[in-house]
């Protein structure tokens, strides 16, 4: 049988067959499958590529059984597999999932030079089988079973795959005073949405008897039970809108120092293969042996997105203050060119179309300080240039995912002119990592302590305060009643309990998925901040192999971070910096905690004039500039960041600098930089920097705790009496009841005749408060009463609880529309590092940090924490407000030379203390404040030091220069009124105890919207 036009039909049939559930060799056909991970998807792509690359010269069957044909294909795939896979893993694994049909089927086939995939297609078609490609191999199933039996598959889809359809809170009539009407056919208070089955049916997928579907937006998992053809259609639909996990490229530079003969042999071996991983492993094994002449001379890990440049430096920077005084009396005076020494690496990787090959541009510079024997100044006053041994490598290469390249060999900087036969070998290792989409942190999945009744499931949700209230329309009610309004049922044996912020649900899977969808709707609707935590830790070099491998294997190093915290608690690790701040998506924020050093600098003259002088500064400490951008799913974060850390040493400054652009999933802890000092006295230590970004949704702070069930009442229509303070719109109508009409009743037209028509009836003012409320949309069942007291502007109403809830919600909405000011109070506290880091970790998941703030205030009263400063600002929305608390310090800010060469000084006062500048914006009817804020705190008094120069006349001039110790955070956030927020966390500078002890400082703010004419209470019984 030769290839014919029937191939197109066969391809169409087999395409549908690629959607069955993953399986093991001996798995039950009914066993449900889990969603495929990005690694599994990548394995499937590689296997499909191999199936197309293996070309079989001849396929000839004459009345062969299905098993004989499959065994032939297995054998040929192993023989013709030209990949670099180990011998035991070569070929294509064919797994017969279901037995062939009972009747004996014979296959006759004759093909020439055919790809393995095409040969398999013919064999399965003639054998009445179907196949699909899975990560573990090719799964074959009986076609008849494929079409009739029910199977269950789980698909991973975007969290908004079944988003609440066309849900616009502005269309829901929360306000009886508003004129907005209900959407057609939508019950009051119910969020309109389609079920997962309705959405799939609209896409042409049928659900025969015994089929079902459920979707949990908090996990992004779609679980479908159906026949195989329909499952294939579901898979095709999911693939058409598939959540393709972002890819991150991790790169590790390893520099090995060893004997010249050994390194040259390694070079020879590495030249025989595109992957030098084996050679690097052998050198690392030698380096770990005691007394070995091989050692790790340098190490750097960094990551970035495809197509984005990344820069990392681990260097020693000299003090920029001049060692020799500036001599303006000498026209040839100049300073030495002091360059940083260490490792500077610039990379730009790009993933190619095959998803596995990386086009890598690299620029590597290694500098090692070497003092010169002629460093003494010359007799003419000039300073000789200092030689800095260096090695600079620029290249562009292609490298496969998961492989290693030997990118260069050279003599170590500083040994070029010596007889020592020692060489450095530089290796680059790459890994393409997928940013996984784990379940939402709101779905804790805490197992139930008891087995739920048959047919029911149990789950625990972590519910932030105010979540359900934010979407309860038109008025808040008990949680259970509201869920019933949304279509949730509570069959026998179901449970709903709310303890603290944990909601325990026992119900059918369908009802649990509905509740998950409602939670996801509230999270999607809520304004969000991104909470940023960053820590840099110095660790023993023994941690290097494990951390480096973990960073290549995964994007989440939470487990490794916990080990680092434990090491710090044991004294094995030292925190060099800890930082926390929040920002909004798309807002670039900065956070600095450092010493600002000022010094004199000179510029060599271009002519015979004296050299020019100026004032320069150098920042020593921690600096982080970061801009997060939320993805469409609300949980994936694009992060563009610049990070610098300077730590002072005896005669230099150890600096770590990283510039990168990466993608993170909210909540994961990422190792973003890992360095080993290059040929320094601290080569037995490494620096590791960890970053975490949490997406924090914000909900209005509820005035009353959420009730799970309504209080039992003998009569659900019982009337209650409450007193309200109505908003101005209602007061105007009510006050008219107590005022005579300004226009007298008019009789016949004075300008008309006796034949003039009778005057039109003038509309009368409402006769009672009840008429006003009815006019505004409220109902008053039998027995209801209302009374308005004009002297106190209070409205007393007797009505049903449901109507009282509507009145209270309407009044609350109008209160939010009143003119307002915003009060921001700033608190600066200082305490032990472990305590503040723990509180920052807790706060990074929460909208309101009141609990953490109160804990520190309590500790301050006990004396274990210092309350350093407090500042309050109140301003109108949209205006800028500033407060400077402390004192002003006059400092030299500019130095120039006049026409006679004499120094001219300029001084400016600088506020020292607590300095806050902010601008708050409040939208109409909103309980949220959009806040742009700059908060600066001086962690120690300014420090004056003197630098001098030699004037043109030859005498010495001293200049008092000032160093400042500050922390400063500039950011933009959203904050609900009535809440507290940890604005920043940092390691202070400027005092001896800050260097010797693990001490941190934190800045908290509280935010309150103060409404003008705000009534004392919305309602009083």
Ranges 460-469, 470-479, 946-955, most confident: 460-469
pLDDT digits (tens, 9 = 90+) for 957-1010: 778 899 999 999 999 999 999 999 999 999 999 999 998 999 999 999 999 998
Phi, psi angles (nearest 5°) of residue 800: -75, 155
> Between 775 and 205, whose confidence is greater?
205
- For residue 285, the model assigns a pLDDT of 92
Residue 650 has pLDDT above 90, yes or no: no
Residue 484 has pLDDT above 60, yes or no: yes
Ranges 97-111, 499-513, 874-888, most confident: 874-888
Element spanning 254, H or E: strand 247-259
Q: What is the mean pLDDT of residues 380-399?
A: 72
CATH 3.20.20.70 for the 39-148 domain, yes or no? no
- For residue 418, the model assigns a pLDDT of 56
Residue 882 has pLDDT above 60, yes or no: yes
pLDDT digits (tens, 9 = 90+) for 97-151: 766 555 678 899 999 999 999 999 999 888 888 888 887 889 888 877 777 778 8
- Residue with structure tokens 């070995």? 292
Alpha carbon distance 864, 346 (integer Å): 45
pTM: 0.77
Residue 323 has pLDDT above 50, yes or no: no
953-to-135, 335, 525, 883 alpha-carbon distances in Å = 83, 20, 72, 46
Residue 1021 has pLDDT above 60, yes or no: no
Residue 1016 sits at the vertex; the CA angle it makes with 1012 and 1017, to the nearest 5 degrees, is 115
DSSP 179-206: -PPPPTT--TTPPP---HHHHHHHTT--
Element spanning 568, H or E: helix 558-570
pLDDT digits (tens, 9 = 90+) for 85-110: 666 678 898 988 766 555 678 899 99
- For residue 478, the model assigns a pLDDT of 87
- The model's confidence at residue 26, banded by pLDDT at 50, 70 and 90, is very low
**Extents of the domains making up the chain:** 39-148, 248-329+338-369+388-434+530-697, 820-887+909-1011
7-11, 549-553, 709-713, 903-907: the lowest-pLDDT one = 7-11
Inter-helix orientation angle 7-16/228-240, to 10°:
90
Residue 495 has pLDDT above 60, yes or no: yes
pLDDT digits (tens, 9 = 90+) for 246-255: 899 999 999 9
Report the percentage of the chain scoring pLDDT > 70. Answer: 76
pLDDT digits (tens, 9 = 90+) for 718-772: 888 888 877 666 666 655 655 554 444 444 443 444 454 554 554 555 567 777 7
- For residue 191, the model assigns a pLDDT of 65
Residue 521 has pLDDT above 50, yes or no: yes
844-to-337, 389, 537, 840 alpha-carbon distances in Å = 45, 46, 20, 6
- For residue 237, the model assigns a pLDDT of 82
pLDDT digits (tens, 9 = 90+) for 301-313: 999 999 999 999 9
- For residue 1004, the model assigns a pLDDT of 98
- For residue 657, the model assigns a pLDDT of 93
Q: What is the mean pLDDT of residues 378-407?
A: 76
- For residue 1012, the model assigns a pLDDT of 72
- The model's confidence at residue 359, banded by pLDDT at 50, 70 and 90, is very high
- For residue 987, the model assigns a pLDDT of 96
> Between 154 and 159, whose confidence is greater?
154
Cβ neighbours of residue 271 closer than 8 Å, sequence gap 6 or more: none
CB 139 within 8 A of CB 20: yes
Peptide bond just before 474 cis, omega within 30 deg? yes
- Residue with structure tokens 């929460």? 846
- For residue 3, the model assigns a pLDDT of 38
- The model's confidence at residue 823, banded by pLDDT at 50, 70 and 90, is very high
Residue 1016 has pLDDT above 70, yes or no: no
Residue 678 has pLDDT above 70, yes or no: no
pLDDT digits (tens, 9 = 90+) for 824-849: 999 999 999 999 999 999 999 999 99
Task: Tell me the longest C-alpha to C-alpha distance in the chain.
Answer: 131
Q: What is the mean pLDDT of residues 388-416?
A: 86
- The model's confidence at residue 563, banded by pLDDT at 50, 70 and 90, is very high
Residue 167 has pLDDT above 90, yes or no: no
CB 19 within 8 A of CB 228: yes
Residue 283 has pLDDT above 90, yes or no: yes
Alpha carbon distance 284, 296 (integer Å): 7
Residue 899 tokens read as 């026409």
- For residue 372, the model assigns a pLDDT of 41
DSSP 615-670: EEEEEEEEEEEEEEEE-TTSSEEEEEEEEEEEEE-SSEEEEEEEEEEEEEETT-EE
Shortest CA distance to 328 belongs to which of 1020, 762, 948? 948
Shortest CA distance to 786 belongs to which of 801, 766, 772, 775? 772
- For residue 801, the model assigns a pLDDT of 81
Question: 309 pairs with which residues across the strands?
Answer: none
Mean pLDDT, the chain, integer: 80
Cα-to-chain-centroid distance, residue 522: 19
Residue 429 has pLDDT above 50, yes or no: yes
1-10, 42-51, 381-390: the lowest-pLDDT one = 1-10
């Amino acid at each position: 049988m030769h290839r014919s036009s029937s191939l197109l039909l066969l391809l169409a049939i087999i395409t549908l067959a690629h959607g069955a559930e993953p399986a093991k060799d001996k798995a039950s056909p009914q066993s449900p499958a889990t969603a495929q991970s990005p690694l599994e998807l990548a394995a499937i792509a590689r296997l499909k590529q191999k199936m197309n690359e293996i070309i079989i010269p001849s396929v000839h069957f004459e009345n062969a059984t299905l098993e004989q044909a499959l065994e032939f294909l297995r054998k040929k795939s192993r023989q013709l597999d030209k990949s670099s896979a180990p011998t035991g893993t070569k070929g294509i694994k064919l797994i017969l999932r279901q037995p062939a049909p009972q009747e004996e089927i014979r296959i006759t086939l004759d093909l020439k030079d055919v790809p393995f995939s095409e040969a398999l297609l013919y064999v399965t078609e003639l054998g009445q089988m179907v196949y699909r490609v899975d990560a573990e191999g090719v799964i074959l199933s009986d076609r008849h079973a494929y079409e009739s039996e029910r199977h269950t598959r789980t698909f991973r889809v975007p969290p908004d795959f079944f988003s609440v359809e066309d849900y616009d809170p502005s269309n829901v009539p929360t306000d009886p005073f508003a004129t907005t009407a209900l959407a057609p056919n939508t019950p009051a208070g119910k969020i309109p949405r389609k079920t997962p089955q309705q959405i799939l049916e609209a896409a042409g997928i049928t659900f025969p008897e015994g089929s079902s579907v459920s979707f949990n937006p908090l996990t992004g998992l779609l679980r479908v039970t159906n026949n195989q053809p329909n499952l294939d259609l579901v898979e095709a639909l999911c693939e058409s809108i598939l959540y393709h996990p972002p890819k991150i490229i991790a790169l590790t530079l390893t520099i090995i120092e060893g004997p010249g003969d050994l390194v040259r042999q390694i070079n020879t071996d590495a030249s025989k293969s595109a992957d030098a991983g084996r050679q690097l492993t052998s050198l690392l094994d030698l380096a770990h042996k005691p007394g070995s002449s091989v050692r790790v001379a340098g190490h750097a890990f960094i990551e970035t997105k495809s197509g984005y440049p990344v820069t990392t430096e681990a260097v020693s920077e000299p003090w920029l203050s001049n060692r020799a005084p500036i001599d303006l009396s000498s026209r040839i005076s100049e300073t030495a060119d002091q360059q940083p020494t260490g490792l500077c690496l610039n990379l730009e990787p790009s993933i190619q179309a095959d998803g596995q090959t990386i086009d890598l541009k690299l620029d590597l510079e290694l500098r090692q300080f070497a003092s010169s024997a002629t460093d003494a100044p010359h007799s003419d006053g000039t300073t000789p240039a200092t030689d800095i041994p260096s090695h600079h490598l620029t290249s562009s290469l292609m490298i496969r995912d998961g492989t290693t390249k030997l990118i260069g060999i050279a003599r170590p900087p500083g040994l070029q002119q010596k007889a020592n036969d020692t060489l450095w070998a530089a290796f680059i290792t790459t890994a393409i990592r997928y940013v996984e989409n784990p379940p939402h942190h709101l779905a804790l999945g805490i197992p139930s302590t008891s087995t739920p009744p048959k047919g029911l499931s149990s789950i625990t949700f972590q519910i932030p305060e105010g979540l359900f209230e934010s979407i309860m329309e038109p008025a808040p009610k008990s949680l259970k009643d509201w869920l019933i309004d949304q279509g949730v049922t509570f069959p026998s044996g179901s449970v709903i309990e709310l303890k603290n912020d944990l909601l325990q649900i026992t119900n059918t899977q369908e009802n649990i998925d509905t509740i998950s969808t409602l939670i996801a709707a509230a999270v999607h609707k809520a304004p969000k901040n991104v909470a940023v935590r960053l820590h840099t830790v110095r660790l023993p070099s023994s941690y290097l192999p494990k951390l480096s491998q973990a960073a290549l294997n995964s994007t989440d190093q939470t487990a490794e971070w916990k080990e680092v915290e434990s090491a710090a608690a044991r004294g094995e690790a030292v925190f060099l910096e800890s930082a926390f701040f929040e920002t909004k998506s798309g807002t670039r924020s900065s956070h600095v905690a450092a010493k600002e050093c000022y010094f004199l600098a000179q510029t060599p003259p271009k002519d015979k004039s004296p050299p020019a002088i100026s004032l320069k500064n150098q920042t020593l400490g921690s600096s982080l500039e970061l801009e997060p951008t939320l993805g469409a799913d609300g949980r994936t974060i694009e992060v563009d960041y610049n990070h610098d850390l300077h730590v002072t040493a005896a005669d230099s400054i150890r600096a770590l600098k990283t510039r990168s652009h990466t993608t993170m999933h909210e909540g994961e802890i990422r190792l973003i930089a890992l360095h080993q000092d290059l040929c320094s006295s601290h080569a037995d230590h490494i620096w590791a920097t960890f970053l975490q970004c949490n997406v924090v949704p914000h909900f209005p702070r509820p005035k009353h705790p959420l009730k799970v069930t309504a209080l039992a009442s003998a009569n659900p229509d019982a009337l209650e009496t409450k007193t309200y303070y109505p908003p101005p719109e209602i007061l105007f109508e009510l006050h008219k009841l107590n005022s005579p009409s300004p226009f007298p009743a008019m009789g016949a037209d004075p300008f008309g005749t006796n034949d003039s028509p009778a005057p039109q009836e003038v509309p009368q003012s409402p006769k009672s408060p009840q008429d006003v409320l009815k006019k505004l949309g409220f109902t008053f069942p039998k027995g209801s009463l209302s009374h308005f007291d004009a002297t106190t502007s209070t409205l007393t109403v007797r009505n049903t609880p449901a109507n009282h809830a509507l009145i209270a919600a309407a009044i609350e909405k109008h209160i939010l529309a009143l003119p307002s000011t915003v009060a921001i109070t700033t608190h600066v506290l200082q305490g032990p590092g472990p305590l503040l880091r723990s509180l920052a970790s807790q706060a990074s998941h929460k909208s309101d940090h009141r609990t953490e703030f109160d804990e520190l205030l309590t500790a301050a009263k006990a004396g274990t924490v210092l309350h350093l400063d407090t500042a309050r600002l109140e301003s109108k929305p949209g205006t800028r407000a500033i407060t400077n608390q402390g004192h002003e310090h006059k400092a030299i800010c500019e130095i120039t030379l006049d026409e006679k060469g004499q120094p001219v000084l300029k001084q400016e006062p600088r506020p020292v203390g607590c300095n806050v500048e902010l601008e708050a914006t409040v939208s109409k009817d909103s309980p949220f404040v959009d806040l742009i804020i700059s908060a600066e705190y001086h962690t120690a008094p300014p420090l004056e030091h003197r630098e001098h120069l030699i004037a043109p006349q030859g005498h010495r001039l001293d200049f008092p220069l000032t160093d400042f110790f500050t922390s400063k955070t500039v950011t933009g956030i959203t904050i609900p009124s009535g809440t507290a927020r940890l604005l920043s966390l940092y390691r202070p500078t400027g005092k001896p105890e800050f260097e010797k002890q693990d001490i941190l400082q934190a800045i908290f703010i509280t935010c309150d919207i103060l409404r003008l004419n705000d009534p004392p209470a919305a309602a009083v019984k």
